[in-house]
Amino acid sequence: MTNMTKTITLPTAPREFGLYINGKWVAAQGHKLFERCSPAHGVPVTRTIVGTEADVNTAVAAAKTAFEKRRWAGLSGQQRGDVLLKAAALIRERAEELAVLETFETGKPISQSRGEVLASAGIYEYAAGAARMLHGDTFNNLGDEMFGLVTREPIGVVGLITPWNFPFFILAERLPFILASGCTVVAKPSDLTSATTLIMAEILTKAGLPDGVFNVVTGSGSTVGEVLSHHPDIDMLSFTGSTDIGKRVLAASASNFKKLSLELGGKNPHLVFADAQLEDAVDGVIFGFCFNAGQCCVGGSRLLVEKSILPKFEQLLAQKLSRLRVGDPLNPQTQVGAIVNEKQHQTISDYIARGVKQNARLVTQGNVHASAEGLFIQPTVFSDVTSDMDIATDEIFGPVLAILPFETEEEAIRIANDTIYGLSATIWTQNLSIAMRAVRSIRAGRVWVNTTISGGPEMPSGGFKQSGIGRETGLYGVEEYTEIKSTHIALGPRTHWVS
């Protein structure tokens, strides 16, 4: 653990939040409360309402009324964009408050939270422009007696279920695009990390968002999430989380044929070819599996290395990892913070034990550390991993790397695609032909070449195979939340069917 001066103090009492429905806070009275402790320090930091089915129904009714009265959909793209731009400015004003709460609830390093909050403001700004770019198509080639219009309309009321790993950033990758399209929303953040989503609701009202357009019901997935995914007045559901719960949501959506956008798990490979810039690749691989303590859907948890460079690569990896700063997330120097909760900490520890039991070779020994100080796990690297080991197949969601050596390009691609997932992949080589062959062959929604987990809101994100359905961000991310309508307009007198 690093031991440097802290610049932020822990709260003496948890901050309390209500629900946010129809442009107002709903007070906690009469509700059960959930107390969230900082996973890095073990002290209570926030208290939120455990929402009920009745709360979801109230929020959905508010969102439905706002949609049907066209309070938001009836505005111009420019007006919607103005609200999103004001919201971005308010995020920047409240950036420190948001970042500190994000770190208190997630355990991620404060420097990272600050970066994510500011990057989120940038996404709202991008989506403000996208609100003005949304358009349809015309068909002027249907003959003189017909004219065709293809228009995009907001799909309606969207249920938005988000996870705990990037509470504010994942919200930013979805919400402003949904709002840009003209839809209204009922959001359910993870009960572990609800604070910044609730503050976003307050920010949006202040920025001029009409009442009822964005509502937040906190609480458990088994109640609030289930009710949202079955609700007949929810037209579309955007879900980010595990593949298992994604399957439940998919089944529940059949009740009224909700449109779905699912961003689920991944077991994402890094492919390092012998000609790669090794120092860069080592750094990228470490960032890929340690960023956010490995609790990252696009994190690179499988490392495929060309056999001829494996010993050298392992040596460089171990050397660099020894300099990684793991510890108190309130310390601005920290690079890897705490694991989100005891359950996740236990899951990761169990996988490390299984890796040892299944005879993978430890390159760096993960120090599993759960004490009064908090829940930490030092990055752990296994080599000589084979495809049948659990650490090679399962999404662990922790700082654990499984190295699988390969001898040929074909073998590398085969191993990379040997997974039920298809969220992302990263390729390290200086040879453009190798890189492009890999880009074309790997079945994943996002591929990076000589970099990893980078990019902006311009490019869409989403998964192949069991990593999801649909795309978020970019103009695709706005279009995803629209229905397409074809309008046929007859010109001139009608040729009668019945004479």
The three-class DSSP label of residue 497 is: coil
**Amino acid symbol at 195:** A
d(CA 378, CA 327): 9
Query: 88 or 297, CB closer to ligand NDP?
Result: 297
CB of 152 to ligand NDP, least distance (A): 27
Report the half-sphere exposure of 97 (CA within 13 A, side-chain side): 13
User: Counting contacts by CB under 6 A, is residue 185 touching ligand NDP?
Assistant: no
* Contact call for residues 262 and 170 (beta carbons, < 8 A): no
CB of 2 to ligand NDP, least distance (A): 26
Q: List the one residue from 245, 304, 412, 434 that touches ligand NDP (CB under 6 A).
A: 245
Q: Which two tokens stand for residue 205?
A: 């009202």
Helix H or strand E segment including 88? helix 77-93
Helix H or strand E segment including 370? strand 368-371
Q: List the one residue from 92, 248, 320, 443 that touches ligand NDP (CB under 6 A).
A: 248
* Contact call for residues 80 and 131 (beta carbons, < 8 A): yes
Helix H or strand E segment including 402? strand 400-406
Site for ligand NDP in 19-58 (CB under 6 A): none
CB of 5 to ligand NDP, least distance (A): 32
Site for ligand NDP in 210-229 (CB under 6 A): 220-222, 225-226, 229
Query: 248 or 414, CB closer to ligand NDP?
Result: 248
Query: 240 or 378, CB closer to ligand NDP?
Result: 240
Query: 256 or 408, CB closer to ligand NDP?
Result: 256
- How many secondary structure helices (H) and strands (E) does the chain include? 15, 25
With CA atoms as reference, report the closest residue to 173 among 378, 406, 425, 480. Answer: 480
CB of 474 to ligand NDP, least distance (A): 18
Query: 187 or 310, CB closer to ligand NDP?
Result: 187
**What x-and-dash track marks residues 305-334 binding ligand NDP by CB under 6 A?**
------------------------------
The DSSP code for 413 is: H
**What x-and-dash track marks residues 379-408 binding ligand NDP by CB under 6 A?**
----------------x-x-----------
d(CA 253, CA 258): 5
Nearest residue to ligand NDP, using CB? 221
User: Counting contacts by CB under 6 A, is residue 242 touching ligand NDP?
Assistant: yes
Query: 77 or 422, CB closer to ligand NDP?
Result: 422
d(CA 449, CA 323): 25
For the chain, give the longest Cα–Cα distance.
Answer: 91
Helix H or strand E segment including 282? helix 278-290
Q: Which two tokens stand for residue 87?
A: 């919201």
d(CA 482, CA 58): 24
Q: Which of 105, 116, 173, 263 is catalytic?
A: 263
Query: 222 or 387, CB closer to ligand NDP?
Result: 222
Of 95-103, 237-245, 453-461, 488-496, the segment contacting ligand NDP by CB under 6 A is 237-245
Task: Specify the residue for token string 């009714």.
Answer: 61
Q: Which two tokens stand for residue 312?
A: 């050298």
What are the Cα distances from residue 13, in Å, to 35, 60, 198?
11, 32, 18
Site for ligand NDP in 148-177 (CB under 6 A): 161-165
Query: 50 or 75, CB closer to ligand NDP?
Result: 50
d(CA 324, CA 198): 33
CB atoms within 10 A of CB 246: 23
CB of 385 to ligand NDP, least distance (A): 19
Q: Total number of residues binding ligand NDP (CB under 6 A)?
A: 26
Query: 103 or 218, CB closer to ligand NDP?
Result: 218
Q: List the one residue from 105, 116, 173, 263 that touches ligand NDP (CB under 6 A).
A: 263
Q: List the one residue from 204, 264, 272, 427 that touches ligand NDP (CB under 6 A).
A: 264
CB of 264 to ligand NDP, least distance (A): 5
Active site residue 125: no
CB of 280 to ligand NDP, least distance (A): 26
Of 262-270, 283-291, 307-315, 491-499, the segment contacting ligand NDP by CB under 6 A is 262-270
What are the Cα distances from residue 84, in Å, to 62, 79, 480?
20, 9, 18
The three-class DSSP label of residue 473 is: coil
Q: Phi then psi for 383, rounded to 5 degrees?
A: -120, 180
Strand partners, 486: 150
User: Counting contacts by CB under 6 A, is residue 297 touching ligand NDP?
Assistant: yes
User: Counting contacts by CB under 6 A, is residue 430 touching ligand NDP?
Assistant: no
- Residues serving a catalytic function are 263
Interface with ligand NDP by CB under 6 A: which residues? Answer: 161-165, 188, 190-191, 220-222, 225-226, 229, 240-242, 245, 248-249, 263-265, 297, 395, 397
